Structure formats: structure tokens, C-alpha cells
A and B are shown apart, each in its own frame.
Chain A
Amino acid sequence: MTEKLVIIGAGMASGRVIEHLVKTDPDAFDITLFNAEPRGNYNRIMLSPVLSGDKTYEEIVTHSDEWYAENGVTCRFGEHVTAIDRARKVVIGQAGEVAYDKLVIATGSAPFIIPVPGKDLDGVITYRDLDDTNAMIEAAATGGEAVVIGGGLLGLEAAAGLRERGMEVTVLHLMDHLMERQLEGAAGYLLRQDLEKRGIRVMTRASTKAILGEDRAEAVLLEDGTVLGADLVVMAVGIRPETRLATDTALDVERGISVNAQMQTSDPDVFAVGECVEFDGILFGLVAPLYDQARILAETLLGREAAFVPKELSTKLKVTGCELFSAGDFAEAEGREDIVFRDPARGVYKRLVIEDDRLVGAVMYGDTTDGSWFFGLIRDGTEIEDMRDTLIFGPAYQGGGSADPLAAVAALPPEAEICGCNGVCKGTIVEAITGGAGDLGAVRAATKASASCGTCTGLVEQLLSVTLGDDYAAPTTQPVCGCTDLTHEDVRRLIKSKPLKSQEAVWQELGWSTRNGCHVCRPAINFYLLADWPLEYRDDPQSRFVNERKHANIQKDGTFSVVPRMWSGITNASELRAIADAADKYDVPTVKVTGGQRIDLLGVRGEDLPHIWADLNRAGLVSGHAYSKGLRTVKTCVGSDHCRFGTQDSTGLGIKLERALWGSWTPHKVKLAVSGCPRNCAEATCKDVGVICVDSGYQVSVAGAAGMDVKETERLADAPTEQEAIDLTMAFIQLYRENAKYLDRAYKWVAKVGLDWVRERIVDDPQERARLIERFELSQSVYRKDPWAEEVKKADVFTPLADLTLEAAE
């Protein structure tokens, strides 16, 4: 006999259930279908094409009124179900009750709304159904600005659609990169680029504080104080299973409505299907598993045996021009191996994750043609041992071949500057080569490229290779490390000329063979980025050697040394007292006067660091950067203030230099000294920059060494005034920062580019000198501050995350 089946929610999951039922046994049930939306089932995932104008609503309807009528489904659309009375087995709708024998809850999910002030203003909407979509289309008709909160699948589709309809769109995302649940950094970077290319502004690490406006939304305020104008605000920060009816009627509910593999809830006559359910701890947000659930539920309702098994999922983004694909599990769990492939020229990134000779996850951007093939391998658990070496190239590929080391250079646009000294761009060089310049010398003669400091030589040779192909045998050069074929000099130039402003950009555009570099290249890249883009790039402590991350020197027993700054060796009684007190309080085993005119507290425990720093800070002492590739010390002698031979105030100049330069990051450490006369008590002639005071002014010399090599400085220039001595020093340090290879001390770098080249820029060209100083000051506006004071604020990071010595022993 026919049973009464009531279904709450006419969505994608229940739509499939009904299809299965009426196809298999049309007479089994007398179906009543409630839907809060005033319409029947449509293909919700196609709302984005409707938003962008590629499709109309009519085209995405899956079940028409006629279809429901033909199949005998009683429709109660536009009617909310307000309660379920399980004792009486009735469903209570806004327009009255309906009795059931079997009940299916298919209420989907509700968009999550972040609880910020202004969330209820007009003009703030979510993205879930046709009404939302129409509201966006209507808002876009008058143009204006839109802010989309949430850089996941939905948010980006909304952003792309609104942009397509002519709005100025900004996407705010809390995390470091877009779609972090489906993608990793590299693919997230490429995605961001493609979106920016179509005029969508993307702000990551952006946390919304409030939505501002009188009657309707006018602007969005971020935690950092930024205010973005907004005529429309779309919240797409996530979804929550719609479980209210189930909770009210006391069914078992976790995050979603709990169901077994037959989609049955804790009440045997009540079933649930779709995004509102939780099965085995899993929630669902994509349609593929919901279709499986729908089939299982239909079978169950018809009295057949069936069980739901969750399968691997794959994701695509429905934004034209953003080809991305991710599937399976590319994080979590041990025993896995990565295969990474990048093609900078085509903007392609692929990563496969392999475990036990099987593919378990894949992320792809730019070229997703092999996505479904990889997805098949993942789903079927195919053994891939035999094709491992060529797997990443996809099914079409057999035998040989690998990533092209020259791809990064090939991908440069013609206007990219290759030779910074002479302002020669790629196009000019390629023209010269095709015009007959067949080797480095000829290119130099024809274009001047690589004819000055020579650091772009590697790139010019690569251009010869790219242009002449096999006819040109490039000399082998020393790459940065095993992650790349490029040299330090190549990488530095490419960072400037492309330009590249993030680590992900470097990894991708320069074809790095690893996911995020290694301990050799990452500190170098981090430095190059912060030196070239002080405002755009943020220093990454995780790319620094422990000493620079912990702001202290690690010792052989794992303790640290603490060296406060003593400006040019000058101190006073209260500073000394604070140091003495700190030594007592933290049981410092050794207190030593360093070769750099300051005091070293050696043997401090890691967890005490923030506390000893806080104590020293209170006495006005700041970090001495005794650990950094940056300014260390400015040694001075007593000079004209006290010494009978002193010609100038050497101590005073030392302090001025140290105050100007402290906190700056440099390719290797930088040490200065200022002596008050040629007797040179401060040993200025073996420093990176040394100043000798004389009656007529200041002799500024550079490129000395007294470490592994000992080398006397070379005279850069004589400065008549103290200010000029300071200017020459600052300009020299900035030139070094902008051009040297990471871990080259100044003397090594000067040996490569030549002192004349340095002099041309700093001494002979006052404008270039001024520009260098200006750029240095810009960078110092970010970095001239005490890192200890910053670290003290996050003291808990220095302590163990947890102490399990008691718990686990039980």
C-alpha cells in the first residue's frame, strides 16, 4: 500500500531522492514536498553562471512544475516547516499540518554570518539561493563597490560574477592564501594573480571588524583600521548544516543531523539527506556525495539493502580563466611523498601526493586537463609504481623529459629589465642576439648588458641559450641550491624585473622544484624580497636561521646569548646595573665583554629570553643584533672629546651611524668603526665600512675584513663634513643590500663588481646617492625598531606547547 512520505526541503539532494523513487516504484509513496524557497528544485551550483550572466534561471531549473505534477508530488513551495511532532507523526508547516509514515529532512545548510556590528544592515547578503543571486544582480546594475568577505569557492565565484557585471570588487580573506582548504600556497598564489588580472582586488590576512553604514551598508572596517567603501557586502565565510528542526524534535544532532549508512536518524521513521547531515564525523559541502546519499536513501525507503560509503572528492572553481583542480588528501598523515611540477611560462603548478605507491592527493592550477585522470587514480587506489617518474606529466606522456630550467627566463616579457646598471631590457638583448650577437662579448658590445657590474651575466647567457637553442653552450654556473638551476644573481635580478613580491611568486615564477624551498635558499629569498620590497613584503621569521628567529645566538648546549646594544660602546651606570641585575636574576653563567665593545650574557635558557629582554628593555636597552645578518656594531674610540690626538668627535659620529643603521637587514653582517685619528684605535681599516677622522674631515673606506680573510679597507671618498660621511655610508650599505649575493660580506661583493662601479654610483652621482639613501630610509621605516620589544609580546611562544610528563605516565 502507498505510504505517506513527507520531504522537507526541495534541494539538490532531495531532488535526486524523488527521481530515484518515482523511476523505480512510482506507486510506493504519496509524496509531499515542502520548500522554504518559493520554487522547486534547481541546480544550485549553477547559480554562479546565472550571476555572471552566462545562464538564466530557466536554464538551471531541474524539476519544473509540470514534472512534479506528472509524478504526483504535492508541492508546498514558499512554505517553511516550523516543527516536527514525532509523537503524532506530523510535520507542521506555516499553512498547516501533514501526517507522515516516513519523513525525510533535506534542509541543506545555512550560510554562516560573522557576528560583527552592522551585519544586519541592508546591502549585506549571503550567497545561497536564487534570491541572493538576484539581489546581487540588482545591486550590480547600478555599479559601485562590492566587498566579498571570504575567499573560498563561493566567495570567489560571487566576486567574479560581480566583477563581470561591472562592480569594483574586493575579496577579504582571513588566511594567508585563497581557498586554503582546497589549495596550497603555490596554487593560491596563481589563483590570486588570475583574479587580480581581471580587476578583482584580493586582501589576505584581512579580518573584518565591522560593517559601517546608517540605514544600509556603506563601508567595511578591518581590524587594522582600513576602511573599504562598499555598496554591497557579500558574506561567504562558510556554511552550517541547517539542523534546527531536528534539534527541536530531539533527534540526535552533532554538527549535523546524525545518520547511519542508511541515512536513518535516531528515529527509525525519520531520515535525513544532503548538507544537513553528519555521517561518521563527516560533513558534506559538495554535491557528489549527496547524490550517493540520495541513491542510498531511495533504496532504503524502498526496502532494499544499501549503505553509504564516503568517497574522495574533487573540487573545481567555476570562474572562467581560473583553472584549478584539487582532489583527495594532500595534507595530514605521515609516510607521504610529493612530486612538484611548475611551468612558470604557462602559469602551471601541479603537485601530486603519493603514499604507499598510490596517489592520494592532487592539486593543479593552470592546466587541469589531467585532473580527472588523477582523480580516477586516487579513487581507485591504482598502484603507480611503474609510472612514478612520468606520472606528473599525465596520461598522454610516455618517456623522458623534465621541467625546463630556462622556462623562467623564457617567460619574461620583452620589457623586463635584465641589466640594471645600463637599463637594458630583454627585448633589446634578444634583438641583438637574433641580429647576430652570438656570444656574451658580442651582446655586451651591442647592448652594454652585463658590461658593468656583471651580476646579470647569468641571465644574458640564459637568453643566449633560449634564443639560439642548442647552438649555444651556456657555461655552467653555481645554482643557489638543489631547488633551482638559477644562481643568486639571476634570482635577484628576476625578483626585481618580473617583479616578484612573495615567496610563492618566486617558487612559481622561477620554477622551484620544491614546495617551499630548503634551509639554503629560503633565508636568501626572504632577504632579497625584503630588501627589494620593504613595504610590500613581510619578513618571514620561519625562513630565518634560529639566531635571527630567536633574536639571540644559539650555543652549543641549546642555550642562548644575549647582547644588548651599547651605542658605539658608550654605556652608563644604570645600564650596567640593569645588566648586572639580569645576570643575577636569570642565573647567567658567563658575562663577557665582546670584541665589539659591548657585554654578552651567555647561557640564557630559551624560555627566559622574553623575560630577560623585558627587564633590559625597561632600562632602555635594546637588541644588539649580535645574531643578525644586519648591522652589528659601530666601534669607536674616544676621539676629540677626551683624546689628545683626536681630530673629530669619533664617538659622536659612531653613535649617529649606529642610530641610522640599526635594525637593517643586509646580505651578511655589517660592522663599522670610526677612529678619531690615523692611529686608528677603533681598527676602522678592517671593517665593512671604516671612517678615519682627519683634520680636514673624514676618510670613508669600505670592504675591509678581519674574519676568515683579513683585508684592509679601500678608500671610497673623503668627506668634508660629518653629514657627508653618514650619507656615503648609508648609500654604500643600501647599494650592498640591493645588489650583493646573500652571505657575501661587503668585501666579497665589492671584489665582484669593482670599487669603481661602487664609486660611480655613490661618489660621482649625487642623485643616485640620494636615491639610495631614500630607499634605505624607506626600508628603515619598517625595520629600525627593537625586535626584542616585539618578541616580548608573544612570550608564550618561547615556552613548551604542553607538558605531558604527568598525563602520559598514568
Chain B
Amino acid sequence: MNWIDIGAIDDIELRGARIVKTPVGCVALFRTAEAEVFATGDTCPHNGGPLSEGIVHGRKVTCPLHNWVFSLETGEALGEDGQIPTFPAKVQDGRILIDGASLDRRSVA
């Protein structure tokens, strides 16, 4: 693991999301609770919807285009055949850390 500090937890609204540009494409960061974030791919496998624009509920997000629902924990599309990548992320002392190693194009490929 190679934890990279990408910002303060309050930079993301509670039950909101922001994106981070990375070598593997846009990664969406979801804030599901006061001090809880999840990082996943931002692109919906259905038709490319931007997941960071979806409604965040519990530990899930609903795609804004056609309402596919994804588990932020596993990346699995619930009730549909689909999967988004997930990346290790955590909150420490109010900062959001994401695992840089997992964002390396070579390690994903």
C-alpha cells in the first residue's frame, strides 16, 4: 500500500461524492458517513453514467442515468450483471487517503 493524501474529508459533502483523476481514469470518492469514504471507478458499466453524480444511500450509489445500484464495498451492481472496480481508501485524522499502488495502470492491467 502507498497511501496518498488527496484532501480533507469535509471537501466531500456527507452522502456526496467527488472525483479524482488518476492514471486508471476517473475514480469516484463517496462519503457515506461522517468519517467513511469509498473509492470506486466513476463509470457505469451499463452506459457510461458518471456514478459520482448519483444519489448515495447507505453504502450504495444509484447511477444517475438509469438507476443501476452499486455496492460501494464490493463494486457489484445489485440485481444487474455488472461490476465496477474498487480501490482501498480510508479516513485518518480528517484526511482522505487512497492507495496509490492500486491506481497504477500496470497493477490493474
Contact = CB atoms under 8 A, between A and B. Distances in A.
Nearest to A483: B57
A642 interface: no
A123 B103 CA distance: 54
B47 A554 contact: no
B58 A800 contact: no
Contact of B55 (A333, A523, A804): A523
A522 B33 contact: no
Contacts of B12: 801
A546 B53 contact: yes
A800 B59 contact: no
Contacts, number: 125
Contact of B65 (A331, A543, A554, A805): A554
Contacts of A247: none
A550 interface: yes
Interface string A543-583: 11110011000101110000000000000000000000000
Contact of B47 (A175, A180, A514, A556): A556
B96 to A, nearest CB: 8
Given A542-B55, A558-B48, A336 B22 contact: no
B64 A336 contact: no
A554 B67 CA distance: 14
Contacts of B4: 804, 807-808
Nearest to B33: A331
B77 interface: no
B100 A808 contact: yes
Interface bin, chain B: 35 or more
Contact of A803 (B20, B35, B50, B73): B20
Given A336-B73, A541-B13, A808-B22, A801 B55 contact: no
Contacts of B86: 334
Contacts of A157: none
Interface in B8-60: 11-16, 18-23, 26, 29, 33-36, 38, 47-50, 53-60
Contacts of B53: 546, 549-550, 554, 558
Given A558-B48, A801-B29, A802-B6, A519 B69 contact: yes
Nearest to B72: A334
B62 A518 contact: yes
Given A338-B58, A516-B58, A542-B14, A558 B50 contact: yes
Interface in A765-810: 797, 800-805, 807-809
Nearest to A794: B13
Contacts of B21: 800, 802-805
B84 interface: no
A469 interface: no
B79 to A, nearest CB: 11
Interface in B80-109: 86, 88, 90-91, 96, 98, 100, 103-105
Interface of B: 4, 6-7, 11-16, 18-23, 26, 29, 33-36, 38, 47-50, 53-60, 62, 64-65, 67, 69, 72-74, 86, 88, 90-91, 96, 98, 100, 103-105
14 contacts: A184-B34, A332-B36, A515-B58, A518-B58, A519-B57, A519-B62, A523-B55, A542-B56, A545-B55, A554-B53, A797-B13, A801-B20, A802-B7, A805-B21
Interface of A: 175-176, 180, 184, 331-336, 338, 514-519, 522-523, 541-546, 549-550, 554, 556-558, 606, 797, 800-805, 807-809
Given A336-B73, A804-B20, 20 more contacts: A175-B34, A334-B88, A338-B58, A515-B57, A516-B58, A518-B55, A522-B57, A545-B55, A546-B54, A550-B53, A556-B47, A558-B50, A801-B11, A801-B18, A801-B19, A802-B6, A803-B21, A804-B22, A805-B21, A808-B100
